[in-house]
Amino acid sequence: MTFSVNSLGSISERAARYLEQISDRERYLVEHECRRRKIENDILAATIAIKRARFERRSFTLDERRLIAHAERHVRCGAPPPARFAPIGRAGRRPRRTMLSLADPGKGHLRVTLRNADLLDGVVVHHEVIMRGESQADPGLACPPYRMIDIRQNGLIRLHATDDVPVSVYCGHPGYQLPALHGTSTSDWAVARAYEANPLTPCHMAAAAASAAFANGVADVKFNLDGLTASQAIDLMTRVRRAVDRDRRQTLSSQFSLCVPIIDDRQVVRADGRYPESASEPAAIAALSIEITRAGGWDRVTLDSASKELPSIPLVDLLGVDALARWVRCAHEAGLETYISGGMKASHIESAVRAGVDGIGIGFWIHRVGRAPGMPGALDIRRVREAIRLRNEAEARL
């Protein structure tokens, strides 16, 4: 392409005057930058096409399909979506008091959620790889209920979400590394021991993963902190908060399972050398999750009841509505937003809304039955509509 200062787009007068004097030796650098900005402008045009078709509730025209396909190819190669994004917002600054986070591995959002403006009312497009049960390679090996998302596919989701709806990401557990010690079985190493031996790697990996998602324009990134002691969780959250690149409206969310005890080692170790009693009851874990998240400086606290078993015990049933409402009040008093997930179905939406929860994560229930146990099928548009209707009716009754 022929280089001119105008090819760079908006630029200050001082920079424009300087670049007009560019030498042949430096021209290739600037021409490459011009090509990059041309690609970003093509992506911007596709974003506007997506917004327009969704607002007008129509299918894409032939020209729009070509424009979007061109933009998708660039995003798959690492080009970023447009910078403007929809934040989740704090209470009183968002479209609904209780947002519905619709969890899907990715394709369901592109084929269902983001194709219909009616499905975005008070919704967060939650990018999450859901997987329950045992390893397919080793049936005796239990696996975490969630996996890390594909960051490039996340870029496509952000492209189609434009700035109409927030997108959030669940990254799962930080990347703990087991020490390589002669004569030591890796099975002997729990999460807490692995973190104690090497805290830098999981912290830096978590910050890098969150920064990549935030660069896509994701509104919120969530990590599961099960297995860490209270002081370790605070340490990890503090390190990640200091290392991550994000806009002030982009939030970090902690997640704690009500099925996994937390050792509160913030106090002095007892005379016998043991830690204080761990928090193992759901209410105690919930209370401790607020203290840890506040101390770590993150923005949102999540309670979860998912496990490798199917179906998971619904969180509302496990904790109880009254205890859930108390947890929400305590979290708000600590300046934290709240989120719950795990086994949530239609019957739990009104209870969660009455408790004042800021976000409800819904996964398996809004999907059809999958081909394999523990794997969700396609998004069920009827259940997505039902979830939105139930939430709206519950809020109208408050």
Residues 99-396: name the CATH superfamily.
Aldolase class I (3.20.20.70)
369 Cβ partners below 8 Å, 6+ apart?
377
* Tens-digit pLDDT string for the chain (398 aa): 455 666 777 888 888 888 888 887 788 888 888 889 999 999 999 999 999 999 999 999 999 999 999 999 999 999 999 999 999 999 888 989 999 999 999 999 999 999 999 999 999 999 999 776 554 544 544 556 667 899 999 999 999 999 999 999 999 889 887 765 544 554 556 889 899 999 999 999 999 999 999 999 999 999 999 999 999 999 999 999 999 999 999 999 999 999 999 999 887 655 565 656 789 999 999 999 999 999 999 999 999 997 666 667 899 999 999 999 999 999 999 999 999 999 899 999 999 999 999 999 999 899 998 776 667 889 999 999 999 999 999 999 99
Name beta bridge partners: 361.
Answer: 101, 341
Q: How far apart are the first and last CA of the chain?
A: 60
How many other C-beta atoms are found inside a 10 Å radius of the C-beta of residue 27?
11
Give this prediction's pTM. 0.91
CA dist., res. 10 & res. 192, Å (int): 50
How many other C-beta atoms are found inside a 10 Å radius of the C-beta of residue 357?
25
Measure CA 78 to chain center. 19
CA-based R_g, the chain, Å? 23
Spans of all domains in the chain: 5-76, 99-396
How many other C-beta atoms are found inside a 10 Å radius of the C-beta of residue 314?
20
Short-list 340, 230, 227, 247, CA closest to 295: 230
The alpha carbon dihedral of 252, 257, 258, 261 has a sign of: negative
Burial of 321 (0-12, 13-18, 19+ CB in 10 A): middle
